[in-house]
A and B are shown apart, each in its own frame.
Chain A
Amino acid sequence: MFDAEFIKQLEYLSLLSKRMFRGQLLAQRRTMQTGGGIEFADHREYIPGDDLRYVDWNVYARHGDLLLKRFQEEEDLHVYILVDSSLSMDRADGDGVNKFMLARQIAAALAYIALSDLDRVSLMAYDGKLRSTLPLTRGKDQILSILDYLKNLECSGEKTDLKNVVGEFVQRAPRTGLAIVISDLFDQDGFRDGVDRLRYARFEPHVVQLYTNEEASPNFLGDIQLIDCETATEKKVTVTERKLKRYRQLFDEFLETVETYCRTQGLSHIRTTTDVPFDAVLLKMMRAAAVRA
């Protein structure tokens, strides 16, 4: 699944990411805290008890004011990658890559890029609730454990509930950071509540939406018993061309809604079908981030 070729592709993407959205999306973010960094940030008046090593003697020599130099503290980024592992993700176009596979590849790529930038990465799989969590790790040498974690993930049967998952996630997350949601967003109760909750908790949500071409445009007609793969709900319908047309229209509206929502909220959003390779998806993400920057 994650072979050497895949690792090589991750490396390449990591290099690309440094050029394209270094400091924009991931890693080596400067925090608003001043502290023990090496880059000058500001002066403040000396208060007795301050460390004399930080007094700017040059200013004192010129102006006679005791000012204390302040430095911006560099802090690593916390990247949380939430991978939808509901049964709806276990869909593919024919014999192609299914959504869950693509989601894991994207997650691995993003994790690798983050680790390369010395960020902390945590991965979580969810459906109706958080199924499993990979704690925050740091360092490129952790990529193998991440890949191993992703490899062992499986789709489970609970119906998707992002709101519930985010609630659980927010309580668990030690710090805020980037929260990348990789999902088809077929959330029966709506994905917005979950994303909104991330925002409210001061996470920076990013949405990667996956779907198959068949989901976008089904090609079956006639009397059919539809079965929801997550809830096992059955529905006997007679599918006509008109209804297929209406379906495509509703699906397009759904995609549009997601995009509009993300754009309105200033969220990063990328959507792709399963026939697009994961590296192309990453490049697309990078370009989008570059444009936004």
Chain B
Amino acid sequence: MSFLAAERLIWLWVALPVIGFYILKARLRRRNVSTLLFWDQIFEEKRQRSLWQNLRHWLSLLLQLIFIGLIVLALTDPMSRWQQQSGQELILIIDNSASMQSVDSESGKSRLELAKEEAIELAQGLRAGDSAAVMSVGGRVQVVSGMTDFGPTVSDAVNKIQATDGPTRIEQAITAARRLSTDANRRRIVVISDACGQSFRSAAKLTSSVAETEVQSTSDAGNDSTVAVKSSDQDVYWLQVGSDSDNVALTLFQARRSTVDPLGYSLLVEISNFSDQKAEGRLKLELDGDLVDVLPYKLEADEVFRRTIQATSQSGGILTGTVDSEDGLAVDNVAVAVVPKRPVLPVTLVKPVDADCYYLKNVLSSVPLLELTEMTLDEYNLNESPSSAVTGDETELARDPSKASDIQVAKFGLTVFSSVVPAKLPSGPVLFVAPSGDGPSVSTEAGAAPAWQIGEELESALIAKQTDDSALLLHVKMQNVLVMGARDIRMAEGWQPTSSLLQTAEDANVLVSIERESGRVLVLSANLDSSDLPLRIAFPVMMTNAVNWFLRQSNEIHPAVNTGVQANIAWDQSQLSDSEELTLVAPLGNQTPVAIKNQQAITDALNATGIYCLTAAEIRPQSIADTDGSGTSLNPEQVFEKHPQRSQLVAVNLCSSVESDLRLPELPDQSERSIPASGWPTWLWAVLIASGFIVVEWGLFHRRVVA
């Protein structure tokens, strides 16, 4: 036996005056009477009972002391060892998914508010020995509050739960709840949800499967199999909140690059009517606030409207689709997609004075959004040399390679050296085609050395090996292709990380990429004038890949991500190692670190719809931003605007037919089962026994006074 409020034992002092009154025989009421004749006769008859009367008084005192003792015991809130071992472990799984934002027409409250009220009511019903945990399942399973036996803590945790735009994760929550409470006999998992979606059926299956699993496992163990099955089968209780509601939702909103128009994009839109009634309205499409298109729709009950829309935009922006429907859920009436900007890239082709570079020039001209400028090496050197004069400080450029790269890119864009090699390797993206000799001198670990050494012309430059996972060779198959005039490229050791993309059978490197902080470098040793490489389909594709690779652009529109999904987002802004981290800025300005692996940013489940910004730039921490002069943190668009080269936008939509269908499914077993209560607390027993004693004392008093 332990006492939760042992300090209240001090109230035992109340017994002292009770005893005092009995010992001191509190002064009786005095009453004058005319004569004692009759009283004497009465009490003469009753004299034989005086002993019992005295005993009755002492018994009365004893009963009163016991009563006080029991009441004080109740005040101390005792807990028996049995109670400590038999209290229930209540796990409240509160659904804060997108569908829980739906406002209930009957109560005027959202389903989440109703769920919270149910949860708080359960928390307030916690008894001695009980403990409770709170989990939320909107987007991802989250333990809001661990096991605690303090009701207010549970209530606070419930109140902290916010609505999310994510989908329901009941199955995972039930699994996690079972891990949280391993005692199947004490475990009570209460799922408070609108029960919308198919996942509930699978959750029911999960419950059954666990039961079956335990049947299997425990029957091997022996005798307790029945208990285990029963307990595991009954540990999940559903509390359904809300009422049926009609809804029209955008269930698909994805943009992709047009296959025919380099500036165009295709938008796939799906509008679903989750209602038994007809619905009609308009879908309004806006790009950065400018109206793009308006699509009227007219839907029968449960009909799905799907349409592909072609549009063109070089400037790009945030494409927003809005369904003008006054329905039960607002979050699925809006969806967004990010259409990237398609800037024109300047390309400077540096060639020998007497060469035309016909094939290369035409291939580069065929790549969309390139602005080609030709110049000789001398002209290039003439233009390139003032760059330092512009900055006026070479040491500064040496300290900050990215700045030099930016200047180089601004001046020359992509620099293509065809059959020439500059004396100095320029910053920014550089393509060498059929270099005439060794590379420019660079500083390596062993000292100054040419960036590469070019070998003799290969007699049989048959490509034998190709690195398939490189973006440079996307959709390109060069194996068994004879590249005439190719020469082996040997990169300087200890300079920069290089990748050999194409190799001959003799391990001669024909195509080599170099990752450099100040700009990527690609070296192709094939002679375009003497080989048939320019005539192959693969070459313009490879050049297009190269341009995108240089610009760190996939040239694709990143698909919008659905809420509650762990997304892998291609990061194509800058080369990052796996040890580095990106920062994901949520629509409300919240910042979370994001790991990156193989140029893929791996985000956690996103729980809010809207535009996010994934950035490698160092932005102010949220806490500081919150306390700066503006008082607000940067939103994703502001971050992207500030760091366009090191950030990319990510569109996140609900687009879930499960969450948008607000019609409540029927749960067959919810009305038949109620949450079993655990045993009564000790203090309640104490009060009951005390009540019994006081009834006995009342009886004695009644006999003493009235009878």
Contact across chains for B36 and A240 when beta carbons are under 8 A apart? no
- Whether A175 is near chain B, meaning CB under 8 Å from some CB there, is no
Given contacts A186-B34, A186-B35, A240-B704, contact A235 B40 (CB under 8 A): yes
Within 8 Å by CB of B34, from A220, A229, A247, lies: A229
- Whether B638 is near chain A, meaning CB under 8 Å from some CB there, is no
- Whether B579 is near chain A, meaning CB under 8 Å from some CB there, is no
Within 8 A of B (CB), among A186-237: 186, 188, 211-212, 215, 218, 220-231, 233, 235-237
Within 8 A of B (CB), among A155-202: 184, 186, 188
List, in ascending order, chain A residues with CB within 8 A of B81's CB. Answer: none
- Whether B399 is near chain A, meaning CB under 8 Å from some CB there, is no
Alpha-carbon distance A246/B36, docked complex (angstroms): 14
Given contacts A237-B43, A242-B707, contact A227 B33 (CB under 8 A): yes
Contact across chains for A224 and B35 when beta carbons are under 8 A apart? no
List the B residue with the shortest CB-CB distance to A186: B35
Within 8 Å by CB of A215, from B29, B30, B34, B46, lies: B34
- Whether A40 is near chain B, meaning CB under 8 Å from some CB there, is no
Contact across chains for B707 and A220 when beta carbons are under 8 A apart? no
Count chain B residues whose beta carbon lies closer than 8 angstroms to a beta carbon of A: 24
B residues touching A (Cβ–Cβ < 8 Å)? Answer: 28-43, 45-46, 53, 703-707
Contact across chains for B29 and A225 when beta carbons are under 8 A apart? yes
List, in ascending order, chain B residues with CB within 8 A of A45's CB. Answer: none
Alpha-carbon distance A240/B29, docked complex (angstroms): 14
List, in ascending order, chain B residues with CB within 8 A of A246's CB. Answer: 42, 45
List, in ascending order, chain A residues with CB within 8 A of B37's CB. Answer: 186, 188, 254
Contact across chains for B707 and A226 when beta carbons are under 8 A apart? no
Most A Cβ at <10 Å: residue of B42, B46, B707: B42
Alpha-carbon distance A233/B40, docked complex (angstroms): 11
Given contacts A235-B39, A250-B38, A250-B42, contact A240 B31 (CB under 8 A): no
Given contacts A247-B42, A250-B42, contact A228 B35 (CB under 8 A): yes
List, in ascending order, chain B residues with CB within 8 A of A251's CB. Answer: 38
Alpha-carbon distance A129/B32, docked complex (angstroms): 23
Contact across chains for A223 and B28 when beta carbons are under 8 A apart? yes
Q: Supply 15 further A-B pairs (C-beta < 8 A) apart from A240-B703, A240-B706, A243-B43.
A: A88-B35, A184-B34, A188-B35, A225-B29, A226-B31, A227-B33, A228-B35, A228-B36, A229-B34, A235-B39, A235-B43, A237-B39, A237-B43, A241-B707, A246-B42
Contact across chains for B704 and A238 when beta carbons are under 8 A apart? yes
A residues touching B (Cβ–Cβ < 8 Å)? Answer: 88, 91, 184, 186, 188, 211-212, 215, 218, 220-231, 233, 235-243, 246-247, 250-251, 254
Contact across chains for A233 and B28 when beta carbons are under 8 A apart? no
Contact across chains for A241 and B33 when beta carbons are under 8 A apart? no
Contact across chains for A226 and B33 when beta carbons are under 8 A apart? yes
List, in ascending order, chain A residues with CB within 8 A of B28's CB. Answer: 223-225, 236
List the A residue with the shortest CB-CB distance to B30: A225
Which 3 pairs show the lowest CB-CB distances between chains A and B?
A186-B35, A88-B34, A225-B28
Contact across chains for A240 and B705 when beta carbons are under 8 A apart? yes
Given contacts A91-B34, A220-B31, A236-B28, contact A226 B704 (CB under 8 A): no
Contact across chains for B705 and A224 when beta carbons are under 8 A apart? no
Q: What are 19 contact pairs spanning A and B, CB under 8 A?
A: A88-B35, A91-B34, A186-B37, A220-B29, A222-B29, A223-B28, A223-B29, A224-B29, A225-B30, A225-B31, A228-B33, A228-B35, A235-B39, A236-B28, A238-B705, A240-B703, A241-B707, A243-B43, A247-B39
Alpha-carbon distance A246/B34, docked complex (angstroms): 17
Contact across chains for A230 and B35 when beta carbons are under 8 A apart? yes
* Distance of B705 from chain A, by nearest CB (Å): 5
* Distance of B30 from chain A, by nearest CB (Å): 5
* Distance of A157 from chain B, by nearest CB (Å): 13
Alpha-carbon distance A226/B40, docked complex (angstroms): 11
List, in ascending order, chain B residues with CB within 8 A of A239's CB. Answer: 705
List, in ascending order, chain A residues with CB within 8 A of B704's CB. Answer: 238, 240
List the B residue with the shortest CB-CB distance to A232: B32
Contact across chains for A241 and B34 when beta carbons are under 8 A apart? no
List, in ascending order, chain A residues with CB within 8 A of B29's CB. Answer: 220, 222-225
Contact across chains for B36 and A226 when beta carbons are under 8 A apart? yes
List the A residue with the shortest CB-CB distance to B56: A238
* Distance of B153 from chain A, by nearest CB (Å): 51
Contact across chains for B38 and A247 when beta carbons are under 8 A apart? yes
* Distance of A249 from chain B, by nearest CB (Å): 9
List, in ascending order, chain A residues with CB within 8 A of B45's CB. Answer: 246
List, in ascending order, chain B residues with CB within 8 A of A218's CB. Answer: 33
Alpha-carbon distance A178/B45, docked complex (angstroms): 40
List, in ascending order, chain B residues with CB within 8 A of A186's CB. Answer: 34-35, 37
Alpha-carbon distance A235/B32, docked complex (angstroms): 10
List the A residue with the shortest CB-CB distance to B45: A246
Alpha-carbon distance A14/B42, docked complex (angstroms): 44
Contact across chains for B53 and A243 when beta carbons are under 8 A apart? no
Alpha-carbon distance A59/B419, docked complex (angstroms): 205
List, in ascending order, chain A residues with CB within 8 A of B33's CB. Answer: 215, 218, 226-229
Alpha-carbon distance A88/B543, docked complex (angstroms): 134
* Distance of B698 from chain A, by nearest CB (Å): 14
Alpha-carbon distance A240/B702, docked complex (angstroms): 9
Contact across chains for A221 and B42 when beta carbons are under 8 A apart? no
List the A residue with the shortest CB-CB distance to B704: A238
Alpha-carbon distance A237/B47, docked complex (angstroms): 11
* Distance of B485 from chain A, by nearest CB (Å): 127
Alpha-carbon distance A246/B707, docked complex (angstroms): 12
Alpha-carbon distance A152/B46, docked complex (angstroms): 43
Most A Cβ at <10 Å: residue of B33, B40, B53, B704: B33
Within 8 Å by CB of B39, from A91, A184, A222, A226, lies: A226
List the A residue with the shortest CB-CB distance to B43: A237
List the B residue with the shortest CB-CB distance to A236: B28
Alpha-carbon distance A222/B46, docked complex (angstroms): 16
List, in ascending order, chain B residues with CB within 8 A of A88's CB. Answer: 34-35
List, in ascending order, chain A residues with CB within 8 A of B703's CB. Answer: 240
Alpha-carbon distance A186/B704, docked complex (angstroms): 28
List the A residue with the shortest CB-CB distance to B35: A186
Alpha-carbon distance A184/B41, docked complex (angstroms): 18
List, in ascending order, chain B residues with CB within 8 A of A225's CB. Answer: 28-31
Contact across chains for B31 and A224 when beta carbons are under 8 A apart? yes
List the B residue with the shortest CB-CB distance to A223: B28
* Distance of A30 from chain B, by nearest CB (Å): 41
List the B residue with the shortest CB-CB distance to A234: B30
List, in ascending order, chain B residues with CB within 8 A of A240's CB. Answer: 703-707
List, in ascending order, chain A residues with CB within 8 A of B36's CB. Answer: 226, 228, 231, 233, 235
Contact across chains for A241 and B38 when beta carbons are under 8 A apart? no
List, in ascending order, chain B residues with CB within 8 A of A221's CB. Answer: 705-706
Alpha-carbon distance A212/B33, docked complex (angstroms): 11
List, in ascending order, chain B residues with CB within 8 A of A233's CB. Answer: 36
List, in ascending order, chain A residues with CB within 8 A of B30's CB. Answer: 224-225, 227
* Distance of A272 from chain B, by nearest CB (Å): 15
* Distance of B390 from chain A, by nearest CB (Å): 112
* Distance of B551 from chain A, by nearest CB (Å): 104
* Distance of B44 from chain A, by nearest CB (Å): 11
Alpha-carbon distance A241/B704, docked complex (angstroms): 9
Contact across chains for A227 and B31 when beta carbons are under 8 A apart? yes
Contact across chains for A250 and B41 when beta carbons are under 8 A apart? yes
List, in ascending order, chain B residues with CB within 8 A of A242's CB. Answer: 707
List the B residue with the shortest CB-CB distance to A160: B35
Alpha-carbon distance A88/B705, docked complex (angstroms): 27
List, in ascending order, chain B residues with CB within 8 A of A247's CB. Answer: 38-39, 42
Contact across chains for A241 and B706 when beta carbons are under 8 A apart? yes
Alpha-carbon distance A243/B703, docked complex (angstroms): 11
* Distance of A189 from chain B, by nearest CB (Å): 11
Alpha-carbon distance A229/B32, docked complex (angstroms): 6
Alpha-carbon distance A88/B34, docked complex (angstroms): 5
Contact across chains for B53 and A238 when beta carbons are under 8 A apart? yes
Alpha-carbon distance A236/B31, docked complex (angstroms): 10
* Distance of A257 from chain B, by nearest CB (Å): 12
* Distance of A265 from chain B, by nearest CB (Å): 22
